Structure 1
């Protein structure tokens, strides 16, 4: 059985509920969902339980996360919530294999195959980051201006890990037992102060802590704004070996990473560029509400 983990404060509860609903809606096997709430009231937990109750395939664990663990920790970026640092403590709260999912995603297929991936001794598994792969491609094939810009971006990543190995942390499969069994690794993971000091916060931090212990997944499991073909092309150009699971499928998880989100007001150029995705997101949000309204 696959175990999922979602973490949010009240500010991002709405999109995170949609992310959870989309995951359980497409599940073809039972799921355990651990939902970590930060500063939730009873009404917030009631909403979480109502969404989980829409599926007989879902077993919910509601966990009040201790906010003192994040006291004094602030994200370096205005669009990255400090709540994201809570996942650095997941090994204290859960055990076994856990698939962590950001709240700014939409699941469009069955996540169950991830329960059976051979991690090959890795502590975590994730998809190579779309932007880092784009920079690698630009550094090799772009014009001089693009190459200079890309090289500057890659130089920052090299301070963390090999750019080819850098992964996006919006969808991460974690072997929490392996992390707990290594006290040095667990302590490094919990260093929220170090994570907060990095430009991309816990994403940079996880790449640094788990460097050399990450299994790369197919981009279907963390597809950047539905740009699967471009993601696959960039990966092929980088020569990265990925686990074959899901290679024959369309995007299973759509990730709306970055500053702008489909549930927020966005600049017109982004609306025009990604209009089909906004329409899809709003359609799925309406379906979730219709399911909730239909509950007895």
Structure 2
């Protein structure tokens, strides 16, 4: 017998999105007894068969319940969408034995751990919901209160997400009141949402904003859980707005192997450019709205290492669910060694693995196909850098290409990190059901790294582990400091600074190298000049390096002169097209540094 359930209402047009909404919740929940229900309005048998196919492909059990409006129901023709109007009959569709139901609009996507909402304290109220976007604007909410007859100062909730206490709903007759309003002949600007706000006036509990992050407030919620695409342009549309393009990839991944593979449209280059220009045009008008929204909704902040974002615990270990510094210490201290594996083509990972015991933990980064040819058999976690500056496997839709190398039960999960203010976490649901934690290392990196550069993922992990003061030996594999001849290397990182940092840690015994490079070539000079005074050898080294660098700069100047016409041509082409997110971020950093 189920005690908790997810409900969504849909017609044929939104059915694929509705199924994705339910699937995204299961991927972000540890609940084992949660009932998944789609209330279908006028669904043909073919579409019901497509739901069964979706279930098989994605390993879920979504039940379809047909719904037909009573013959005397007004409003089923015209601008009232049947799938939203049907919500007013939800009390008649609640299954026996259910204690709580989480209702979701079809255009909802879960990107974080949904479990806590089922245990939310409703303080005796019938439902829990989140403030609507309009409540940030006093003049608008005041007008809404007057039109609906709500008491001054009343709150107005968005009906895209609400949690029902089934016993309280049955006892209160709230939906009966809502249906009476529907039949009253009264006009409502926002249809059934207005009706529900009247019916539940004084009987709903406000929930945290992260449980219904509407399009207009997305920039102000740091850690969303349920994202609500309230605009006309949805992530699966070709005209999806730029800020939602990441979510389009999530829908595509969920549907690509089903009969609804064509549901997600791809944007052309022309559409992307048009969206960019349109966004620029909206910036000025958004300034005043931004002030109101930020003041009202603020930002929901999480821990540095947060468990607010786990994916489904379908793969990996339950041990990988910590968030405190003490918890991470206990997690890492289970292992004898922590081997950080850089994506270097010179790395012989097979040989390196044989040099460490079975209880060593291997930490991989981003595009592991650079170093792995087959499924990795040892204990491992994957660090995914999903900010605009990193190797973004989510944005590039390479999650499946990377996760195929981690198929054993020794794969513990994914640590999605951010190290700079411009970076944004990827939703847990973007990682194909793998266990996911989010780590905010940006506060640690602030003041710790040259301000005009972005730290590599490896550097950020080493600095964080150093702060944790872990017992296992930390080993760097492939961190040679040599430029890759095969893979593109970005100049956004300060490679020299990082190399010196690692060298100093190695000299103090805090880390070791898997390549057994031995002592520095400069250390050998001490053997030849045992009577050298303090600093004498270092001064000679500095002078020699300065001479070499001067010579290198002369050669670079010559190359710059030879390629001047090529650079001029390249700059002309660059100015003719919009800047990328990475270029815009670099421009902001340059201004901040100056």
Match for residue 117 of structure 1? 120
Question: Deviations 1:148-183 (Å, cap 9, x if unpaired)?
Answer: xxx255223334334551110000111232122234
Report matched runs for 1:46-85 at 5 Å: 46-54=49-57, 58-68=60-70, 71-74=73-76, 78=79, 81-85=81-85
- Larger RCO (alpha carbons 8 Å, 6+ apart): 1
CA displacement at 1:86 relative to structure 2: 0.8
Match for residue 228 of structure 2? 255
Structure 2 portions without partners, runs of 5+? 260-399, 401-594
Rounded to whole Å, the distance in 2 between the matches of 1:85 and 1:228 is: 26
Select 1:6's aligned residue among 5, 8, 14: 8
How many residues are aligned here? 251
Question: Deviations 1:37-60 (Å, cap 9, x if unpaired)?
Answer: 01112221122233334565x543
Kindly report structure 1 stretches of 4+ aligned residues shifted beyond 6 Å. Answer: none
Match for residue 275 of structure 1? 242
What SS class does the counterpart of residue 190 from structure 1 fall into? helix
Report matched runs for 1:192-203 at 5 Å: 192-194=182-184, 197-203=187-193
Rounded to whole Å, the distance in 1 between the matches of 2:90 and 2:185 is: 15
Question: Deviations 1:231-287 (Å, cap 9, x if unpaired)?
Answer: 6xxxxxxxxxxxxxxxxx710111111333333354xxxx5xx4031x122201121
Match for residue 39 of structure 1? 42
CA displacement at 1:194 relative to structure 2: 4.8
Rounded to whole Å, the distance in 1 between the matches of 2:64 and 2:186 is: 26
Q: Which is higher, the Rg of structure 1 or of structure 2?
A: 2
CA displacement at 1:75 relative to structure 2: 7.3
Report matched runs for 1:1-296 at 5 Å: 2-30=4-32, 31-54=34-57, 58-68=60-70, 71-74=73-76, 78=79, 81-95=81-95, 96-133=99-136, 135-136=137-138, 151=139, 154-160=142-148, 161=150, 162=152, 164-183=154-173, 185-191=174-180, 192-194=182-184, 197-225=187-215, 227-228=217-218, 230=220, 250-264=223-237, 266=239, 274-277=241-244, 279-290=245-256, 292=258
What SS class does the counterpart of residue 17 from structure 1 fall into? helix
Rounded to whole Å, the distance in 2 between the matches of 1:173 and 1:281 is: 24
What's the TM-score, normalizing by structure 2? 0.39
CA displacement at 1:218 relative to structure 2: 0.5
Are the structure 2 counterparts of residues 38 and 14 from structure 1 closer, same or farther at C-alpha, using a change threshold of 3 Å?
Answer: same
Question: Deviations 1:191-220 (Å, cap 9, x if unpaired)?
Answer: 333598311011111111111111000011
CA displacement at 1:129 relative to structure 2: 0.8
What SS class does the counterpart of residue 70 from structure 2 fall into? helix
Contact kept? 2:76, 2:85, Cα under 8 Å: no
Contact kept? 1:25, 1:55, Cα under 8 Å: no
Match for residue 141 of structure 1? none
**Larger relative helix fraction:** 1
Rounded to whole Å, the distance in 1 between the matches of 2:232 and 2:184 is: 22
Structure 1 portions without partners, runs of 5+? 137-150, 232-248
What's the TM-score, normalizing by structure 1? 0.75
Contact kept? 2:132, 2:156, Cα under 8 Å: yes
